[in-house]
Amino acid sequence: MWTSRAGFGRTGTEPIEPPQPKPETKLDRSFAHLGVESSASYEEVKAAFRRMARELHPDVSHLPKEEAEAQFKLLNEAYTYIKISKRWT
């Protein structure tokens, strides 16, 4: 994006970069996968995990078996990563 901002050390032809979003970390993605805020307590994370596990478990899920297994594995990995990162183990 080009803009004209003469002064303040600019000639008016330099591109102005938009602010870069904060890089998402694996921990952020894990919280998002469980559907909770990164400030969630242990009890909130555990409840979210159990709720989702009841829906995604391959034995009860309406998804095809392979997809249910993959989703359940991702859920377990996210929950485990949060517990280890937060030292809740």
Q: Rounded to two decimals, what is the model's pTM?
A: 0.71
Domain ranges of the chain: 26-33+41-85
Cα gap 17→14, rounded to integer Å = 9
Cα gap 29→16, rounded to integer Å = 30
What pLDDT, in 10s, does the model give residues 28-83?
999 999 999 999 999 999 999 999 999 999 999 999 999 999 999 999 999 999 99
Q: What is the DSSP string of 25-80?
A: PHHHHHHHHHT--TT--HHHHHHHHHHHHHHH-TTT-SS-HHHHHHHHHHHHHHHH
Cα gap 12→17, rounded to integer Å = 14
